[in-house]
Amino acid sequence: MDKRSFFSFRIFLARSKLVFYVCLTASLVAITMPTAREQVADAAGCTTAPCAVTINVNTGSEDHYAYGYRGLNNEFQKGIVEFTDQNVIDWTKALDLGWIRWPGGTNVNFFNWKTGLTDTEYLAQYYQHNEHAEANYYKYMDFYKMQRSTQIPERLSDFKDFLQKVGARTAIAINPAMDPVSKVYDLAKFVKDNNIPVLYWELGNEPFFYQSDPKIYANTPDYLAKMKPYRDTIKDVLPDAKVLISYHNTPDSNWNNAIYNYSNPYWDGINFHRYKGGVATDLKDTNEAIATHVSVINNGYIARMQNTSQPAFIPENGVDLGGKVGETAYHGIYNAETLLRTLLQRYGTNTSSNIKYMGGFRLFNGYLQPANRYMNASIDLYQRGQKADATGYDFDFYFAAPAVYTHIMDLAVNNSSSYWGTTVTGGADVDRLNSAAMPAIYAQAFRGSYGNKNYLVITNKSDKAHTAAVQLNGTPYGGTFTKVYAAAPNGNPLARNSAAAPQLVQEQTASGAANPISIPAYAIVRLEWSPASPQADKMPQEPWITHADAVTTGAASLKWLPADGANSYTIKYGTSPSSLTNMIPEISSCISSYVVTGLSANTTFYFKVEAVGTSGTTASANVLSLTTAVPATPLLRSAYVERSGAVGVEWQSVPGATGYKVRYKLDGGSCGSPIDVDNAVGTLVEGLNNGQKYWFQVAAYNAYGTSAYSAEDPAYPNTNNPFAPHDVKVSAKTATTATLTWEPSYDETFMGFFEDGDGTSSGWTVQAGSAYTAVNHPDTSRATKVYKATASGQQIVTRGSASWDDYEIEANIDVTSYDSSGKVGVIGRFQDINNYYYFTYDNSTTSFRLAKYVNGTTVLIASKTLTELSAQGVKPNVADMNVRLVLEGTRLKAMVNDKLIIDVTDSSIGSGEAGLWANQDTYFDEVIIRVPNATSFKVYRSTQPDTGYTQVANNVTGTSWTDTNLQSGVTYYYKLKGENGSGDASVGFSNIAPKP
């Protein structure tokens, strides 16, 4: 069974969970890169189906493209799916990916790679750095809760094992907005120590969203200057690493032009994301993006590179994230055809494409869809302070429609090493924007690398079926094809697969298909044929050794990425990398692991793997070493307060370790049993007592024993550790002075889950009506408690401080049945029963209302009806919604399900408590009050963006400070920490503000 039939089998039997495997010839792609040949297309403008086309394949015109060309972005953190889940491994393996990005896109900005968790302070910083983040905070908080309800974090070591099992490499996007240079150094070291196959290193994900005033980067040159130390530290550890800077998603933008004009182009290439731009409103819109795809790349990106021969990486490509076309069958056509066109991309005199690797969209929650997400169940676990092993969950996966379409193409791209010149004549036209047209049919032929098989991929963007006469070198092909295809069901190009209809769009196979070939409307087709005169296999691809682990004494457990074209493997090893005198031949190509035994202790051994194929032997891309001894003691980087009752512990990896142990003790006490965290370099220790001092240590282990424990590092858990401020900037300056301003960061001062024993249903003051009570959730499938307002009439409860001025309150609100005059919502700046702001849904007017009660008189500030919101694309379910009221000085913002619906100013009420408001039976849950939690700040200064900082001010109150007596002509950099009245300081720093 080849990978094509495996995928088809999974599509048809996904619901029954029947999975069968046989040995698959490894299909990590042997790719190549083309010379400049654009496909010729002469559209006849056929108007009556079936339309006839002729497709000619010129096998005398052959170009090559890079190994592992096709891959996907990945955002596993947006859910509870684990890399260790065998179902996830099986489904991903069926997609035949050359690479998978880690840790993903947007979530890079708040993901702590060491602990494998969304970081509490990172999320607070990210949330307050831009409006896009604020508008998605509710969603990200749900992901945060789901992730922390599982027992296994998203560890990089697990991801490495995942890559080895699915046969893919990776591209790593670092988090320079939050991680210091030292933490990225540790990341590069972990990659080196653990033999992770990295194609590219990306210096941030979409950093242009965080520029200008107030953001993380002052401008493009500031971003580039700050990225240089990150690039250098990666290169210090991995000299051959390819480090990329980020171009703007908008081509030929000011950001890209500023990069073009930068005086020190230190990077190895660029990355950018290609989305259509704006929500795809119809098929014409998408066709315009397809037709202009390569010209946009050339003119908007490559032309704005100082070195136009450098590589460009596209980790994300697809129609816009939503809209009419997102995740439809036509989305699949878009992804497939733009990739096929990109293979032929050339710029100027370049003889190969700049685009060495290209993605599609997300792997998880994009192509791979869980019918069962377990969102409510995992959030309920989080609220109860419990965890579960998500690897035991039945997610009931299915493939999204674009995955079905692009997989048909992937089998050609990722099982070939070159493509042939391909021309299309005849066929229908399809509309583009502005009355333009383009050919409906696009085709590209591939010379298969192995197994005497070649491929022709055809896309049909029209509503008309076609018949394709296939020619080889001008002569009609007289043999038969295996035809693998997907077509829009019932001619609907906007069809989507869903949990209710997971196979609406599906892959189909027809054997013995002869010329002319039928091409359905809105379809993708892959034709496979075997030459009459068998063609020679290509050389096998390079294996990449991912593991050389001491799991038992005297033995090394080797694992590697399987290699296309391998009929068997040979392991060579010895005590010198230049003299591998021991050999283990004829290891079956069905496996990609082996345990080498008979190794003497306290000796360093070197290993390589050779792929033996029909056309020759290829050595592994890397040679690994393993020392048969106890590993060295790791460097403990820090122990820090992550949140109430929890301490994060982070350290540096050491070569040869297969795992690490963390131990801790109370000040003056003794250590208990160590915590085995497997092969991770960070962990979260929970269940600690606030207000007490703990000491933490770490040790490394393998089969030969455990190292000595590291030096100790203390931490003091507390209920509300301060966060660093955000949006630090130099708001005024002279030659010798700089005035800094900043915004305090908010923390969850109160999180009300109302579970038994958590105490959050107490501490409320009844201001009107009767007290709320903790009861079971009205949805009987939810194993959680809620806070219920009962009976009719105004019911107000509040908590907090009368001095609170800037803060926000949000709540999840469930209403089983609205009274005709029912009103539910939240309160801000409550001073007394006659003075406060409130944001409610009013069922009598079917509208959301932001109002104030001043001296006993109600004044409506702003409102939005459901009809008005619907016209704006906002359609909240008022029976189950999240509402948020944000108070920032005189600015008042009201949000529903992360959608900002009211943004006004009012200065009537300056401070007061937060509260809940209802006049009928209402259920409140996840009530969160965020208040600035730093009472003062520390200021640090340097003349370098990444190092040399010294504290220049302490106990700074307010939100501004002026530095004097600076040296004229020197560029200074500033960053801040937050403090509270107890002397606790923030773990991280603010963004860095330059003073040129």
The pLDDT of residue 324 is 85
Q: At 29, is the pLDDT very low, low, confident or very high (cuts 50, 70, 90)?
A: very low
pLDDT for 217 beyond 90? no
Report the pLDDT averaged over residues 450-469. 95
Q: At 703, is the pLDDT very low, low, confident or very high (cuts 50, 70, 90)?
A: very high
- Which has more pLDDT, 656 or 275? 656
The dihedrals phi and psi of 427, each to the nearest 5 degrees, come to: 95, 180
Report the pLDDT averaged over residues 49-69. 92
The pLDDT of residue 138 is 62
The pLDDT of residue 636 is 97
Lowest-confidence region among 22-31, 602-611, 692-701, 951-960: 22-31
Report the pLDDT averaged over residues 654-671. 96
The pLDDT of residue 26 is 30
The dihedrals phi and psi of 584, each to the nearest 5 degrees, come to: -125, 100
Tokens of 379: 């959030």
Shortest CA distance to 367 belongs to which of 390, 414, 335? 335
pLDDT for 350 beyond 90? no
766-928: CATH number:
2.60.120.560
Alpha-carbon gap, residue 219 to 212, rounded angstroms:
6
Question: What does the pLDDT look like over 227-237, one tens digit per residue?
Answer: 999 999 999 99
CB-based contacts of 220, cutoff 8 Å, min separation 6 = 208, 211, 254, 255, 258, 259, 262
Question: What does the pLDDT look like over 633-646, one tens digit per residue?
Answer: 999 999 999 888 99
pLDDT for 2 beyond 50? no
User: In this structure, are residues 429 and 437 in contact, taking their beta carbons and an 8 Å threshold?
Assistant: yes
Alpha-carbon gap, residue 428 to 41, rounded angstroms:
11
**What per-residue string of b and e applies to 185-214 under the rule 16 or more CB within 10 Å gives b?**
bbbbbbbebbbbbbbbbbbbbbbbbbbeeb
Alpha-carbon gap, residue 951 to 955, rounded angstroms:
11
Three-state DSSP state, 32: strand
Report the pLDDT averaged over residues 239-248. 96
CB-based contacts of 896, cutoff 8 Å, min separation 6 = 848, 869, 874, 876, 881, 882, 883, 884
What residue ranges do the domains of the chain occupy? 3-35+66-411, 41-65+412-529, 544-627, 636-715, 726-745+934-995, 766-928
Q: At 11, is the pLDDT very low, low, confident or very high (cuts 50, 70, 90)?
A: very low
- The CATH class, in words, for 41-65+412-529 is mainly beta
- Which has more pLDDT, 2 or 981? 981
Check for a shared fold between 41-65+412-529 and 726-745+934-995: yes
Residue recorded with tokens 């009987």: 780
* 544-627 placed in CATH 3.40.50.1820: no
The pLDDT of residue 972 is 95
Question: What does the pLDDT look like over 914-959, one tens digit per residue?
Answer: 999 999 999 999 999 999 889 999 999 999 988 899 999 999 999 9
Tokens of 4: 């094509």
Shortest CA distance to 418 belongs to which of 370, 464, 450, 462? 450
Lowest-confidence region among 751-760, 807-816, 986-995: 751-760
The pLDDT of residue 318 is 85
CB-based contacts of 118, cutoff 8 Å, min separation 6 = 77, 107, 110, 111, 112, 140, 143, 144, 147, 148
The pLDDT of residue 39 is 40
pLDDT for 818 beyond 70? yes
3-35+66-411: CATH number:
3.20.20.80
Topology (CATH) of 636-715 = Immunoglobulin-like (2.60.40)
Question: What does the pLDDT look like over 294-323, one tens digit per residue?
Answer: 999 999 999 989 999 999 999 999 877 667
User: In this structure, are residues 460 and 449 in contact, taking their beta carbons and an 8 Å threshold?
Assistant: no
Three-state DSSP state, 540: coil
Whether pTM > 0.85 for this model: the answer is yes
The conformational region for residue 130 under phi > 0 = left, psi -120 to 50 = alpha, else beta, is beta
pLDDT for 816 beyond 50? yes
Alpha-carbon gap, residue 840 to 853, rounded angstroms:
13
Secondary structure percentages of the chain, helix, strand, coil, to 5: 20, 40, 45
Q: At 435, is the pLDDT very low, low, confident or very high (cuts 50, 70, 90)?
A: confident
The pLDDT of residue 751 is 86
Alpha-carbon gap, residue 268 to 234, rounded angstroms:
12
726-745+934-995: CATH number:
2.60.40.10
Report the pLDDT averaged over residues 541-565. 94
Instruction: Kindly report whether the peptide bond that precedes residue 493 is cis, defined as omega within 30 degrees of 0.
Output: no
User: Can you give the three-state secondary structure of 86-113, one letter per residue?
Assistant: HHHHHHHHCCCCCEEEECCCHHHHHEEC
The pLDDT of residue 844 is 96
The pLDDT of residue 689 is 94
The pLDDT of residue 824 is 97
Question: What does the pLDDT look like over 129-163, one tens digit per residue?
Answer: 555 555 566 667 777 788 788 878 889 999 999 99
